[in-house]
Amino acid sequence: MGHGFGNLWKFRGIITYRLSPFEIRAFAGAINPGFGNTIRRILENVPYIVPPMTIAYVLYDQLEKEHERLMRKNPADYENDK
């Protein structure tokens, strides 16, 4: 056939562009500005996330403590048992 692996099909009327894998920089700029932007975005969302989660945790903790208190037996109910 004479064609390489990537050139087995002929597309008529379709323009295709390719970029060599050696020219692609997949992680270009991911560490320098990307890391700072990630931290900034997380810190911007903290006021929206932390208060509801704190309220939910405190409410859950209080409900669990109340449930444990209600599940305990009253020793006064069993004073006359032998």
Render pLDDT for 6-37 as a digit per residue (tens, 0 to 9).
Answer: 666 666 777 777 777 777 777 776 677 778 88
How far lies 37's CA from each of 14, 25, 44, 48, in Å?
38, 19, 10, 18
Query: Taking 60 as the threshold, does the pLDDT of residue 73 lie above it?
Result: yes
Longest dimension (CA), the chain: 101
Report the pLDDT value the prediction gives residue 1, as an integer from 0 to 100: 47
> What are the backbone dihedrals phi and psi of residue 56, each rounded to the nearest 5 degrees, phi first?
-65, -40
Q: What is the arithmetic mean of pLDDT over 55-59?
A: 98
Q: How far apart are CA 13 and CA 33, in angstroms?
A: 40
Report the pLDDT value the prediction gives residue 30, as an integer from 0 to 100: 66
Average pLDDT, the chain: 83
Classify domain 10-72 at the CATH superfamily level.
Cytochrome b-c1 complex subunit 8 (1.20.5.210)
Hey, what amino acid is at 61? D
Report the pLDDT value the prediction gives residue 12, as an integer from 0 to 100: 72
